[in-house]
Structure 1
Amino acid sequence: MITVLLVYVDDIVLSGNSLFEIQSVKNHLHAKFHIKDLGPLKYFLGLEVARSKTGLILNQRKYCLELLSESGMLDCKPSSTPADPCVKLHANQGTLISDPSPFRRLIGRLLYLTNTRPDIGFAVQQLSQFVSCPREPHMQQAMRILKYLKNAPGSGLFYPSNTPLKIQAFSDYDWATCATTRRSVTGYCVFLGKSLVTWKSKKQSTVSRSSSEAEYRALASLTCELQWLPNLFNDLQISVPVPYSTFCDSQSAI
C-alpha cells in the first residue's frame, strides 16, 4: 500500500491505493493541526479534476475563462492555431510597449496554463523570451494564443483508467528558429500508456550547426528525462516494463 501527500503552502492533496490509509493520515494530521477536509479532489491551485469510470480529466477551464475575461478577449473570434506560422518574431522589430507589465503578467499566466495545455507550450515559449523588452508584434501573438484558447477553454488532459503501463517517448526540434541567436528549440513528450505525463518546449543552450545536431540534442534532453522518470515510478510503486520506446524522425540523429 502507498499513500502520497502533496503539499503546497497550506493546500494538501492526499492520494493512495487504500482508503483506510488515507483516512489514517488525515486523522494524524488533524491531531497535530486544524485541517479542513474538502472531500474528493475537484479543484486544486487552479486545476479542475473530473472523474468518471473511464478515467480522469485535468483542465483549467475556470482559470482560462478568467484569463480571457481579464484580457478583454472573452468575446473574441476564436483561432484554430495558437500561433501564426508565417510570423517570425524578432527582439528588435516593432514598437516598444510603453508598459510591459501587462505582457509579462499575461505570459506568466499562460505559462501556468501549460500545466494542462501542452498544445500552447511552443507558442508561449516563443513569447517568453521577450518579456524583458516586449514589442507590439509580441503582444499581437499573445492575443493570438488567447483567441486559440477561446476555441476550447475546457480542453485539458485525459488519463484513462485502463491502459497498459508502457512508456512511449517522442522528441522533435525546430532548427534555428530564433531569429536573434539562431538557436533551435527542443520539444518532447512522454506517455505512460495513453496518458501524457511529461513534456517540454525549450530553446537549446547552444547553436546547432545542422538539423541532425539539433535533433540529437532534443533526443539527448528526452533521454535525460527518461533517466529520471524511473525514480518517480519507484517512489509511487509503479512497475513499468523496460526498455522504453523512444521515437524521433531523424535517421542521422539515431
Structure 2
Amino acid sequence: MDSLVKLGATIGEPLSDINSYRRLIERLLYLTTTRPNITFVVNQLSQFLSAPTNRHQAAAHRVLRYIKGSPWCGLFYPSSNTHKLTAYSDSDWAGCIDSRKSITGYCLYIGSSLISWKSKKQTTIERSSCEAEYRALAATVCEVQ
C-alpha cells in the first residue's frame, strides 16, 4: 500500500456487498502465513470489515495485483543457513487516523530466513514517536526472549 494513502472508516462510498470484501480479506489473512510482506496492509484493511467502502476494496485489489506481480516474495528456508539471530522493529506513530493509535511491527530472522513477524495496533495512544518506537522495541525483545 502506498505510504501516502491513509484509510479511514468514513473515506469513500459504502459497499453494497460487504460479504465479498470480507471473503477477500479472509483470503488475504490466510496468505500472510506465507507472505509476511503483506501483513501490515492486510492488518489495516481488516479493521474495516463491518463497514467497508469502495476505497478499502480498491486497496485490497491493489494487494492482489501486488501478489500476482511478485510470486518470488515468499518464505524461503535454505539448507545452508547461518544461525545468526537478527531482529528489526518499527512503529507507525498515530498511524490509525480514526483512533490515533500507533502500529507496531517486527521481524525476526535466523540467517536470511524469516522466523517470526507481527504487525499490531498498540493498545494505548502514545504521546510521541519515541514512545511508540520504544513500545515496538519492547514487543520485539519480548518475542526474542
| Superposition TM-score tier, normalisation by shorter sequence | over 0.9
CA distance in 2 between counterparts of 1:195 and 1:153 reads: 17
CA distance in 2 between counterparts of 1:125 and 1:177 reads: 12
Aligned to 2:107: 189
1:203 aligned onto 2:132: no
Cα shift at 1:222 = 0.9
CA distance in 2 between counterparts of 1:174 and 1:180 reads: 14
1:216 aligned onto 2:117: no
SS at match of 2:21: helix
Identity %: 57
Matches within 5 A, 1:1-254: 83-227=1-145
Bigger radius of gyration, 1 or 2?
Answer: 1
Using structure 1 for the length normalisation, give the TM-score: 0.55
Q: CA RMSD in A?
A: 1.1
Aligned to 1:22: none
SS at match of 1:160: coil
SS at match of 1:158: coil
Cα shift at 1:154 = 4.7
SS at match of 1:144: helix
CA distance in 2 between counterparts of 1:169 and 1:101 reads: 37
Could you say which structure has the greater relative contact order, defined with CA pairs below 8 angstroms and 6 or more residues apart? Answer: 2
Residue deviations 1:51-79 (CA, integer Å, cap 9, x gap): xxxxxxxxxxxxxxxxxxxxxxxxxxxxx
CA distance in 2 between counterparts of 1:192 and 1:100 reads: 40
SS at match of 2:77: strand
Aligned residues: 145
Structure 1 stretches of 4+ moved >4 Å: none
In structure 2, stretches of 5+ residues that fail to align are none
